[in-house]
Structure 1
Amino acid sequence: MNTTTAAVLVPLLPFAAAALILLTGRRAPGYVRPLAVLPTLTAAGLAVFVALRQGGDEPIGAATRLTRTGNDALPIELALRLDGFAVLVAVLVTVVASCVQLYSTGYLRGDPRYPSYAALVSLFTAAMLLVVYTDDLIVLLVGWEVMGICSYFLVGHYWETAAARSASFKAFLVTKLGDVPFLIGILALASEAGTFRVSTIVTRLTSPLSDFELDHPTLIALLLLAGVAGKSAQVPLHTWLPDAMAGPTPVSALIHAATMVAAGVFLVARLLPVFAASAAALVVLAVVAALTMLGSALAALAQDDVKRLLAYSTIGQLGFMTGALAVADREAAVFHLLTHGAFKALLFLAAGVLIHTAGTASLAAMSRMRGLKRRAPDAYWTMTIGLLALAAIPPFSGFFSKEAVIGAAEHAALEPEHGVPASAGWIVLVAGLTTALLTAAYAARMWLVAFHDPVGARPDPTPVHESASPVMTAVLWLLALPALLLGLAYGTLPDWFDGGDLAPTLTTSVLATGAALTGGIVCYAAWRRAYEGDGLVDPAPGLLGPLHRHAVAGFHLDNAYAAAFVRPVRAAARLVRFLDAAVIDTYVRGTAAAPGLLGALTRRAQTGNVQTYLSALAAGSLVLAVAAVLVAGE
């Protein structure tokens, strides 16, 4: 099998599985699990095969025309672009999707809607792989939008609950809000570049032999950034992601680790020369990344719900990736994308085991967990690995990738080059180091509060429930390996990317690790002080002080949106309803009533009495005679 054929099969297999499950799942439920798991596992094997065959060498491409557009010079093509970035991200997507499908066979055992769930997960995977492998912006947009509709259905899987219905609707609307300018940006970029092919656009912008320049680089970059902010949950379009935790936990792992939110980061990495063509766009990207990192870290530190804490954590880690892109280092961004995908999938699936062990999703609150270190030891140890990677403690994977981001920011701040403003470097550097401290603090808080209950601090244990299935715990240990070891690939990854150096540097390593250790130690001290003071076990109120209640509510951004957009729209809707009922309906009813009234008057005149008709005729004749005499007299 050649590399191109294998690459075509990678997204086709989960797509075919989704179609077969939707067509036959109800009639043959026994085949749903094999159809969900086996094609995705096969796609993962083929993705690894493609990555090994590509091997970081020259990109492999293939294309065929799909259709013409209004401009014959801008055809839409089914084009593949297999470079080092694409093949490695495809491996991440397929491996995480395979783990999610395997895990779901145990987590959703007995769920009557499992067939539709499995089909949507497969379709979700295929759409993300289309985004990763394609070289055509319109085909990329198709995968981009298919992921949006899949997330709508998967987040709303438990549609019986109001929270799930609201979360799915919110996710759909917020991401679509960004997709409108995103589409305009794609069309503007293609119009100026004369092609929808990503590789052609990048080559024209970066080749020393080309004198091509975009006429409106800042406008195009900001339009594309709006779509990225929606998909990758960056400020100010990040509010949908914490609410999306109302869906099944495996879906959360898939969205946060390998699809949907990763798509925006990957797109900016692919189109980085477009953003680098505008210094203003890079500064805006840096500011967005900084606000995202700091705001989400503070919000995560205040959350009691495990999944919402991890959701805010994802937002912050995506901020690190966009920060790396803001300083024009896509190698560091994609490196952190890969390691984050491993340890975040591990954290979410381990959280699912905790919730499963507690017996009900309502016990996702850390303050209500007790004894889970003993009752769920696999989740405890694997989540410990994931939290250490999240906190960027060496030698766990998150340390190396986060260090690469902070090192890139330091380099941009002190030695700006290639048009990267020094201000962007300083913004990302300061925000990154501060976020590293806060990340370690909320990771330590989660570990302490969820697993280490001081004796007598909580009177009632959580109810006993059956232990997680073996397949669920096996998936945890499988993901623990890359969460622990993937960072050690920093020496070989540049061969797959554009070169450069991802190795840790002494200064930033000391600063970042020192910040992380400080955050963990301060959190531990606050945790002990909270327990010894009043028997509480949550250090967050003491750490955040007056800021705590605002951080719990995500700094009331949802309230601000409600005041700025939701309430005015509802008020306008009420006004339209009033006008429709009081004005338009009145005229319609009047138009319908007038013929009826005329008919009633005519009917009353038609009595059927001959004497009445003769009297009326005589009276009319008399009136006419009098009128004629009066006229003749004049």
Structure 2
Amino acid sequence: MTVLAAALPLAPLLAALVGFLLRGRRAAAALAITAASVALVSAVVLAVRFDNPFVDAYRAADFAGLSVDFGVRVNGAATLMAVTVGAVALAVQIYSVAYLHNGRNGRSVAEGGDERYGPYAAQVSLFTAAMMTVVVAPDLIQLLIGWEVMGVCSYLLIAHDRTLPEAPGAAVKAFLVTRVGDVGFLLGIAVLGYHAGSFRIDTVLAHDYKPFDLTLACLLLLAGVAGKSAQFPLHTWLPDAMAGPTPISALIHAATMVAAGVYVVAQLFPLFAGSDPALTVLAVMAAITMLLGALAALAQTDIKRVLAWSTVSQLGYMTGALAVHAPGTALFHLFTHAAFKALLFLAAGAVIHAVHSNLIAATGGLRTLMPLTFLATTAGLAALAGLPPFAGFWSKEAVLASALHEGGGVGWLIYGTGAVTVLLTGWYAARLWLLVFLGAPRTTEARHAHEPPGAMRWPVLLLAVPATLLGLAALAGGFVDRLGPGTGEVGHLGAAVAVPLLLALGGAGLAALMWRRGAADPADRLPARPALAAAFYLDAVQNALVTRPVLALARWARRGDEAVVDGAVDGTGSAAVRAGGVLAWAHRAGVPRAAGAALAGAVLLGVVAAVVEVAR
């Protein structure tokens, strides 16, 4: 079992290290796909054979009584998470072979092309290895290593397209925004390790902390979670990350990066359960995130940005479940979301490949031209909207039922915002479905659209299976038991499901009604559409309140450095030059002047000696 667990990060890590040295496209593709397959098979076998949690770790370092262990730590949730990561990573690697083939895709040059496929595949493997490291880490330091490597990989992959003007800026933004949160995450780990005397997760969880220390550590950890899992106010990087290749969007949104924060809180939940202030902060953050993401998704004109904002919103559901003491429900929604969101992004890539544009306005009428993509996308959007029997219905209802069961201010906050978000989600999911697949093609490319190659088509079709059926796993006791505490509402949904279901259908019906009444785009009739499309101008607010002051401070610091530090160094050099000039003048002087200088020096030394003697 230990070997299987170790293979989860090591197989893709080895593929990444070797892949960076390869130049041939076929060899790079074969290596990346093989490594992803090994990781997935290992995860599946581990999940099937799993019986009891286990830890196998060795002491890697010991600093002044603080120990660091490396190895594996496997529980039920880790086995399911590993299967999720492995499945999505394999689908992305296979899909990418065709999507980035010789630049013949929706944005030919913009998606990279054949010459850069090798580094791309290696970076995807490294991304997968980093997430698997987080999944099985027995120690917070090992977890932190995987956590930070993911940040580097996201930067590299978002910036993969060197011809898109927005790609470098989006990559830098993702890197810097998540680094802001990671400062808090690192400090939170330091607080826990200092008080527990070890960074080993089981030791950290078992330690008895003072209330202030525990709350401080949890709040610091939540800063990192807000960055990685795109929670308000550190969510702004995720929609801009759509500048990366579409398969990378699927990987980031479904199985890595944004999933990491939710997973870590679920694994460390005994700590958070002991800090009501931290859970209250998490609840407020979740409520704002889910509602903000849904409102922004209403008005987007780019297919991928609709899906990106929907991810922000759905992540709010997951953190909301954590806030109401339901980590198992949060993981359940994470798994179902991974299935339908990976499906939706890869299906969106097929549409982009066909119409050569990300814009919704460049599509239309694709139902008959791309029937398989239409059916798969329908399943994905139905799961996103939370319609039965699709996967998202079960997990979303479990989140809302958990909030109702929690009650109190936090419970009603999550339930109320969650219910409103259900209505909005039904609306924007229906809008996207109607505009892309129904009606008449709106461009020449849309009129000549066709299904993608097999390497792109089969991952989409296979992902449609869990997007449709994974929610039914809630009815299987073994699956629920592995999710951990807080799964009481999973698989035991009652009459309360009627309200959110009616809201979802109502939102979808309203979008359809607006569309049938002649609106070329139902979003055109939204009040304050520009504000919604710009996500209430939060980017501009952050620029005004954070970015510009920081840049001004940096300019001030640079001028101070040049005037004080550089001035001192340069001044020392100038003084030495001037002193050298004086000495050179004295050296070149005639004998009378030299004798006078020697006499003056002797007198000066005598005066100094006399002063010193008097001072004694």
Would the TM-score normalized by the shorter structure come out above 0.5?
yes
Contact 1:193 1:214 in 2 (8 A): no
Question: Is it true that 1:302 corresponds to 2:299 in the alignment?
Answer: yes
CA distance in 2, matches of 1:601, 1:397: 86
Partner residue of 1:564 out of 526, 536, 545: 545
Contact 1:339 1:398 in 2 (8 A): yes
C-alpha distance 466-521 of structure 1, shift in aligned 2 (>3 A) = closer
CA distance in 2, matches of 1:556, 1:215: 36
AA aligned opposite 2:393: F
1:538 is matched with 521
CA distance in 2, matches of 1:52, 1:37: 22
C-alpha distance 508-202 of structure 1, shift in aligned 2 (>3 A) = farther
Partner residue of 2:497 out of 509, 512, 520: 509
C-alpha distance 194-525 of structure 1, shift in aligned 2 (>3 A) = same
TM-score normalized with structure 1 length: 0.86
Contact 1:386 1:480 in 2 (8 A): yes
CA distance in 2, matches of 1:519, 1:465: 29
TM-score normalized with structure 2 length: 0.88
RMSD: 2.7
Q: C-alpha deviations, 1:462-496, integer Å up to 9, x for none?
A: 47467521111011110000000000000222232
Question: Is it true that 1:323 corresponds to 2:320 in the alignment?
Answer: yes
C-alpha distance 597-68 of structure 1, shift in aligned 2 (>3 A) = closer
2:370 is matched with 376
Question: Is it true that 1:140 corresponds to 2:143 in the alignment?
Answer: yes
Contact 2:250 2:342 in 1 (8 A): yes
AA aligned opposite 1:358: V
1:449 is matched with 435
CA distance in 1, matches of 2:64, 2:164: 46
Q: Which runs of 5 or more residues in structure 2 are unaligned?
A: 103-112, 597-616
Q: How does 1:587-602 map to 2 (within 5 A)?
A: none
SS, match of residue 18 in structure 2: helix
Q: C-alpha deviations, 1:583-603, integer Å up to 9, x for none?
A: 877787777677888999999
AA aligned opposite 1:225: L
Q: C-alpha deviations, 1:27-85, integer Å up to 9, x for none?
A: x443111101011112101100000111xx421221211111222xx311113221110
C-alpha distance 149-603 of structure 1, shift in aligned 2 (>3 A) = closer
| Displacement after TM superposition at 1:102 (Å) | 0.5
Question: Is it true that 1:258 corresponds to 2:255 in the alignment?
Answer: yes
| Displacement after TM superposition at 1:376 (Å) | 2.5
SS, match of residue 487 in structure 1: helix
AA aligned opposite 1:132: V
C-alpha distance 38-460 of structure 1, shift in aligned 2 (>3 A) = closer
SS, match of residue 370 in structure 1: coil
2:47 is matched with 51
Q: How does 1:63-78 map to 2 (within 5 A)?
A: 63-71=57-65, 74-78=66-70
C-alpha distance 320-586 of structure 1, shift in aligned 2 (>3 A) = closer
SS, match of residue 393 in structure 1: coil
Contact 2:401 2:489 in 1 (8 A): no
Q: How does 1:71-86 map to 2 (within 5 A)?
A: 71=65, 74-86=66-78
Task: Report sequence identity in percent.
Answer: 48
Q: How does 1:140-179 map to 2 (within 5 A)?
A: 140-179=143-182
Contact 2:383 2:468 in 1 (8 A): yes
2:107 is matched with none
Which range is displaced more, 6-15 or 589-598?
589-598
Q: C-alpha deviations, 1:387-428, integer Å up to 9, x for none?
A: 000000000010001111011001001xxxxxxxx2111111
| Displacement after TM superposition at 1:381 (Å) | 1.4
AA aligned opposite 2:82: A
CA distance in 2, matches of 1:522, 1:238: 28
Partner residue of 2:404 out of 391, 410, 429: 410
Q: C-alpha deviations, 1:307-365, integer Å up to 9, x for none?
A: 11111111111110100000111111111011000000000000001111112xxx211
1:39 is matched with 35
Partner residue of 1:433 out of 411, 419, 424: 419
Tell which structure's C-alpha radius of gyration is larger: 1
Question: Is it true that 1:400 corresponds to 2:388 in the alignment?
Answer: no
Partner residue of 2:194 out of 191, 194, 217: 191
Count of residue correspondences: 579
1:231 is matched with 228
1:122 is matched with 125
CA distance in 2, matches of 1:44, 1:482: 15
Partner residue of 2:457 out of 462, 467, 473: 473
